[in-house]
């Protein structure tokens, strides 16, 4: 009897150990069963000269709330704020006073999403859209220049998340905000710890279109440079597509390159100027890329540059453009260039103004691209719709700069302006009423080319530290320039040390609907009582009521018997 | 916290089986062996059913109610009945009375069914953060299944093990057994053909299981009287 029991005990033990092993193996099953999964984009995290800015955390695992309840402890809640209803001053105060918060989730309107199909960049915006644009710009500036110790994410409004938000609002209105004991929604983002990006690269692409060298001409031909910076910076680096700043400039440069390559392909129509096209990176960071590009030039080449035109934000103006220079307007070269532009502008029916801003060599701040040229004594000007120089990290193609707010007709007019002025200067037709790039000619500006490139640019985030050396977009630009020019060079440099960036820009947010602990305890209570009732019922029906009572009376009766 | 929910649903799904075993005289007569054997027979039956379903059934694209497919599924469902017959009659049991034999077989049958059909979804699903009522409803369904299995085992033992039955009751016994055996088809018709939601279907199952249990209890009691 004892040995049999021993053997049975051993068998039971081995069975238990097998079951335990099975449980351990099965516990490794990963669960992903959220009600809603949304793509979210993190606020940028960077250090400027050692001072931290942006959101410093990426991981998120807290309950959701729909508003800032005044007296509640929000250090373990994520507040979901649709940008339409945001109160900038309130958020600004909240951030500057360093009040605790678990996280912030901003919901952006669908119209600025690059997936939005029904925007064609007509440029005529309603009043609400203009308000939204300003609001986004303000919000972006606030977030970029603050150091926020909790995660901040952006997401686009869609049906799922709208439903979740209305549910949360309803719950918040009726009871206290969701915590571990009252149920509600839980937002979970599991992102890797943000790491510093080591040696971020900036890539400059240049295209060279040589002019016609007549035999017996020993001197170097003069060069005209057309430059545009193509990279962006914004609050959400994964969303910084910069359609206007500076997608419009890039598209204009490519179209001008195409037109001049048509002219230069035939030796009879090749001008006596070399043309140098430059797509530079590092624009938001004091035009660092342009600076490095110019430094890499041969001295002779630099001296042969007659003048350089930099294109910056020419996509959303009505009828006035500005030419910014750093040499005084009385300078002969500037006067000549400006007169050329004004002439063409009058014919096109738009106005061009001249703005002069002195450069201060000791100040590291470079507000316009042409200032990098001017520091090396090359005559240069920037054509832009902006009348005032933007501050550092302002108007660099962030959240509010989407295809929706762009005006394609404006870009076409700018291209006509620049191309016509350049051509008249190159071929010596100043003052004559000749239209070289007339509409309906073989040299007309091609709107579908512009549209397709704008479409591509509006879907490609181009923040330089997050673009690798062999980014497909950079290769596409290089190939395009190679189609239009004779010689293309790509220069890879490292971004200067003043800026440090951290990765982890995109993540997936899981929204779970959770039941509270009280619910589980209640359920346990109910189940416990149900099982007890079932037990009593079965004992009563099968063995009789006396047996049930005897179950509780057994210990005393045993004691009596032994005693 | 979510393992808590898994624990709750687990005791709802498997608790009643343990309670039934310990509360009724089954535990006193140590009929665990019978239940284990019945569970193994259920495993075998399930395998055979799977093979038949895979061979004879076409997979339909939409979730509608196809009468021919459902008829085929019902026919294959009768393999269940055959399995129960095998468990009741062909296996050698220790010397236990009729009364306890069918209870033990029904209990083992229902326990194996719960484990096979409900343990894996429970383990994978109930541990997540997301809360749904599905697993609680599944547990209630397991309870209804337990009652149905025991009533089917009772009717089965009446049909095959008891030789002297009152003549008038025989058709009723067979009809009740037929209803209980085709319960899966009825529930799938309700779910797909009439479009009932899960809570309603579970409620219907609980109600019918109680009704059938009462009927089979009465039948068993009346059949028991002549022999005692």
Mean predicted confidence (pLDDT) in A400-417: 88
Per-residue pLDDT, averaged over A242-254, amounts to 92
CB B24 to CB A542 under 8 A? yes
Measure B116 CA to nearest chain A CA, in Å. Answer: 15
- Residue pair A44/A237 in contact (Cβ under 8 Å)? The answer is yes
Asked if A277 and A212 touch (Cβ cutoff 8 Å), the reply is: no
pLDDT tens-digit readout, A120-156: 555 566 788 888 888 999 999 999 999 999 999 999 9
The residue of chain B with its CA nearest to that of A524 is: B8
With CA atoms as reference, the chain B residue closest to A181 would be: B1
Q: How many C-beta atoms surround the C-beta of residue A452 within 10 A?
A: 12
Q: Does B71 touch chain A (CB under 8 A)?
A: no
- Any CB–CB contact under 8 A between B99 and chain A? no
Compute φ and ψ for A109, nearest 5 degrees: -65, 150
Residue A422 corresponds to which tokens in the numbers above? 């350049």
Residues of chain A with C-beta less than 8 angstroms from the C-beta of B7: 524
* CA-closest candidate to residue A463, choices A471, A452, A455: A471
Residue of A nearest to B128 (CA): A31
Contact A512 B8 (CB under 8 A): no
The string over A387-411, giving b where at least 16 C-beta atoms fall within 10 Å of a residue's C-beta and e elsewhere, is eebbebbbbbbbbbbbbbbbbbebb
Q: Report residue A218's pLDDT band, with 50, 70 and 90 as the boundaries.
A: low
From A188, which residue of chain B is nearest by alpha-carbon distance?
Answer: B129
Tell me if A535 and B23 make a contact (CB, 8 A cut-off). yes
Among A7-16, A53-62, A229-238, A425-434, which is the least confidently predicted range? A7-16
Q: Which of B15, B23, B136 sits opposite A538 (nearest CB)?
A: B23
Q: Which of A178, A542, A546 would best serve as a mutation to test chain B binding (most B beta carbons within 10 A)?
A: A542
- Nearest C-alpha in B relative to A541: B24
Averaged pLDDT, A374-378: 91
**Contact B121/A at CB under 8 A:** no
Q: What pLDDT is stored for residue A31 in this prediction?
A: 46
| B125 contacts A538? CB cut-off 8 A | no
Predicted confidence band of residue A501 (pLDDT cuts 50, 70, 90): very high
Which domain does B117 fall in, by range?
2-227
CB A132 within 8 A of CB A109: yes
Question: Closest by alpha carbon to B143, among B175, B126, B118?
Answer: B118
CB A75 within 8 A of CB A102: yes
pTM assigned to the model: 0.79
Angle made by CA atoms A197, A200, A202, in degrees to the nearest 5 = 160
Angle between helix A408-427 and A332-348 (nearest 10): 130
For an interface test with B, the pick among A37, A516, A520 (most B C-beta atoms closer than 10 Å) comes out as A520
Mean pLDDT confidence for A378-403: 89
Query: pLDDT tens-digit profile of B193-217?
Result: 777 888 888 888 899 889 888 888 8
SS3 A323: strand
Q: What percent of chain A has pLDDT over 70?
A: 89
Lowest mean pLDDT among A284-293, A419-428, B213-222: B213-222
Average pLDDT, chain A: 85
Please tell me the predicted confidence (pLDDT) of residue B171.
Answer: 82
Instruction: Count chain A–chain B contacts defined by CB atoms under 8 A.
Output: 70
Check: CB of residue B12 under 8 Å from CB of residue B136: yes
Instruction: Give the residue from chain A lying closest to B8, CA to CA.
Output: A524
Instruction: Look at phi and psi of residue B120 and say left if phi exceeds 0, alpha if psi is from -120 to 50, else beta.
Output: alpha
Residues 494-533 in A contacting B (C-alpha not used; CB under 8 Å): 512-515, 517, 520, 523-524, 527, 531
Residue A332 pLDDT > 70, yes or no?
yes
**Paired residues of A206 in beta bridges:** A278, A489
The total number of structural domains in chain B stands at: 1
pLDDT of residue A563: 45
How many C-beta atoms lie closer than 10 Å to residue B112's C-beta? 22
Among A31, A180, A536, the residue with its CB nearest the CB of B128 is A31
**Per-residue pLDDT, A189:** 92
pLDDT in tens, A153-197: 999 998 888 888 888 888 777 766 555 556 688 899 988 889 999
Candidates B5, B11, B15; nearest CB to A520: B5
Q: How far apart are CA A552 and CA A538, in angstroms?
A: 16
Give residue-wise pLDDT tens across range B136-174: 888 999 999 999 888 888 888 887 777 676 777 788 888
Of A35, A183, A536, the CB nearest to B130: A35
| A171 or A524: which leads in pLDDT | A524
Answer whether A520 sits within 8 Å of B129, measured CB to CB: no
Nearest residue in B to A536, CA atom? B23
How much is the pLDDT for A30?
45
Segment 2-21 of chain B within 8 Å of chain A by CB:
4-5, 7-8, 11-12, 15-16, 19-20
* Residues of chain B contacting A180 with CB distance shorter than 8 Å: 1
A539–B contact, CB cutoff 8 A: yes
Q: What is the CB-side half-sphere exposure of residue A72 using CA atoms within 13 A?
A: 19
Least trusted range by pLDDT, from A123-127, A229-233, B3-7: A123-127
Nearest CA to CA, how far is B127 from chain A (Å)? 8
Chain B contact present for A24, CB below 8 A: no
Full 3-state SS string of A117-175: CCCCCCCCCCHHHHHHHHHHHHHHHHHHCCEECCCEEEEECCHHHHHHHHHHHHHHHHC
For residues A254 and A556, which has the higher predicted lDDT (pLDDT)?
A: A254
In chain B, pLDDT over 90 holds for what percent of residues?
8
Chain-wide mean pLDDT for chain B? 81
What are the E-state strand segments in chain B?
none
Cβ–Cβ contact B23 with A under 8 A: yes
**Contact flag A535-B125 (C-beta cutoff 8 Å):** no
In chain B, residues with a C-beta closer than 8 Å to the C-beta of A188 are 129
Helices within A466-562 (DSSP H only): 472-484, 517-543, 545-562
């Amino acid at each position: 009897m004892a040995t049999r029991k021993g053997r049975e005990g051993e068998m039971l033990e081995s069975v238990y150990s097998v079951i335990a092993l099975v449980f351990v193996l099965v516990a490794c099953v990963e669960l992903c069963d959220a009600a809603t999964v949304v793509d979210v984009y993190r606020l940028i995290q960077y250090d400027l000269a050692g001072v931290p800015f942006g959101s410093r955390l990426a991981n998120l695992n807290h309950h959701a709330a729909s508003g800032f309840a005044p007296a509640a402890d929000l250090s373990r809640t994520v507040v979901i704020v649709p940008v339409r209803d945001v109160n900038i001053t309130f958020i600004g105060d909240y951030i500057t006073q360093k009040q605790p918060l678990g996280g912030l989730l901003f919901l952006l309107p669908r119209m600025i999403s690059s997936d939005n199909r029904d925007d064609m960049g007509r440029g005529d915006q309603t009043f609400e859209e203009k308000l939204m644009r300003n609001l986004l710009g303000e919000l972006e500036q606030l977030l970029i220049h603050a150091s926020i110790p909790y995660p901040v994410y952006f997401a686009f409004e869609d049906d799922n998340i709208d439903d979740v938000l209305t549910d949360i609002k309803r719950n918040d209105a009726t009871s206290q905000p969701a915590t571990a004991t009252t149920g509600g929604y839980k937002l979970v983002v599991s992102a890797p710890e943000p790491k510093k990006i080591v040696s971020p690269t900036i890539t400059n692409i240049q295209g060279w279109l040589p002019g016609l060298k007549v035999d017996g001409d020993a001197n170097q031909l003069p060069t005209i440079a057309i430059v545009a910076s193509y990279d962006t910076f914004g609050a959400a680096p994964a969303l910084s597509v910069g359609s206007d700043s500076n997608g419009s400039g890039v598209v204009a440069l490519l179209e001008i390159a195409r037109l001049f390559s048509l002219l230069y392909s035939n030796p009879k129509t090749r001008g006596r100027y070399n043309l140098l096209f430059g797509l530079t990176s590092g624009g938001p960071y004091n035009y660092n890329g342009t600076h490095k590009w110019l430094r890499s030039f041969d001295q002779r080449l630099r001296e042969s540059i007659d003048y350089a035109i930099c294109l910056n934000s020419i996509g959303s103006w009505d009828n006035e453009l500005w030419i910014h220079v750093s040499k005084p307007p009385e300078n002969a070269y500037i006067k000549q260039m400006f007169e050329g532009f004004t002439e063409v502008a009058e014919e096109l029916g738009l106005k061009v103004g001249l703005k002069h801003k002195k450069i201060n060599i000791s100040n590291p701040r470079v507000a316009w691209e042409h200032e990098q040229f001017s520091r090396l004594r090359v005559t240069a000007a920037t054509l832009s719709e902006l009348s005032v120089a933007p501050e550092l990290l302002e108007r660099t193609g962030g959240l509010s700069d989407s295809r929706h707010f762009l005006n394609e007709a404006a870009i076409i007019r700018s291209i006509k302006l620049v191309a016509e002025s350049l051509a008249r200067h190159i071929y010596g037709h100043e003052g004559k009423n000749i239209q070289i790039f007339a509409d309906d000619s073989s040299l007309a500006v091609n709107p579908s080319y512009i549209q397709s490139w704008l479409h591509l640019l509006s879907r490609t985030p181009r923040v330089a530290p997050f673009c690798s050396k062999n980014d497909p977009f950079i290769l596409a630009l290089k190939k395009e320039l190679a189609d239009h020019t004779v010689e293309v060079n790509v220069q890879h440099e490292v971004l200067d040390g003043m800026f440090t960036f951290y990765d982890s820009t995109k993540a997936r947010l899981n929204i779970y609907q959770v039941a509270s602990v009280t619910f589980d305890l209640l359920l346990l209570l109910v189940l416990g009582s149900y099982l007890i009732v079932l037990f009593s019922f079965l004992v009563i029906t099968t063995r009789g009521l006396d047996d049930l009572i005897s179950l509780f009376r057994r210990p005393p009766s045993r004691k009596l018997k032994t005693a | 916290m979510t393992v808590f929910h898994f624990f709750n649903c687990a005791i709802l799904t498997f608790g009643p089986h343990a309670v039934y075993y310990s509360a009724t005289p089954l535990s006193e007569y140590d009929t665990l062996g019978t239940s284990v054997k019945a569970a193994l027979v259920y495993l075998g039956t399930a395998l055979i059913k799977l093979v038949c379903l895979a061979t004879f059934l076409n997979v339909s694209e939409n979730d509608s109610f196809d009468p021919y497919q459902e008829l085929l599924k019902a026919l294959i469902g009768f393999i269940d009945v055959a399995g129960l017959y095998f468990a009741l009659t062909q296996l050698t049991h220790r010397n236990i009375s009729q009364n306890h034999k069918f209870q033990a077989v029904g209990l083992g049958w229902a326990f194996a069914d719960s484990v096979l059909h409900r343990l894996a979804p429970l383990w994978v699903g109930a541990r997540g953060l997301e809360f749904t009522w599905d697993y609680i409803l599944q547990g209630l369904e397991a309870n209804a299944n337990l009652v149905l299995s025991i009533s089917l085992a009772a009717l089965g033992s009446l049909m095959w093990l008891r030789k002297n039955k009152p003549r008038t009751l025989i058709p009723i016994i067979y009809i009740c057994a037929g209803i209980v055996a085709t319960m899966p088809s009825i529930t799938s018709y309700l779910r797909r053909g009439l479009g009932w939601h899960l809570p309603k279907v579970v409620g219907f199952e609980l109600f019918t299981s109680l009704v059938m249990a009462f009927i089979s209890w009465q039948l068993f009691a009346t059949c028991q009287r002549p022999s005692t």
